[in-house]
Amino acid sequence: MYATKEAVIAKEHEPGVETHIYFMDMRSFGKDFDKYFTRAQNEYGVVYRRCRIPKIEQDRKTKQLTI
């Protein structure tokens, strides 16, 4: 849920930013956490992807990260 909160805050402060959350096991427990999870997807456009990231590399010229 911490990642979801940070993604929503990022979208509120910088509307054009794309937010993707990569996870192996997402658990939304507690009062209305599942509604917050759904709201982040539907209203803010947070993308959730179930996967395991094999590596992250940085482009030497642009300093951009590639997943």
Contacts of 58 (CB under 8 A, 6+ apart): 64, 65, 66
Render pLDDT for 10-65 as a digit per residue (tens, 0 to 9). Answer: 999 998 899 999 888 877 777 788 888 899 999 999 999 998 888 999 999 999 99
The per-residue pLDDT for 41 is: 94
Q: Rounded CA gap, 22 and 47, in Å?
A: 8
Angle at 42 between CA 51 and CA 20, to 5 degrees: 30
The per-residue pLDDT for 24 is: 86
The per-residue pLDDT for 60 is: 92
Query: What band does 6 get if pLDDT is binned at 50, 70 and 90?
Result: very high
> What's the predicted TM-score (pTM) here?
0.71
What's the alpha-carbon Rg for the chain, to the nearest Å? Answer: 14
DSSP state of 57: E
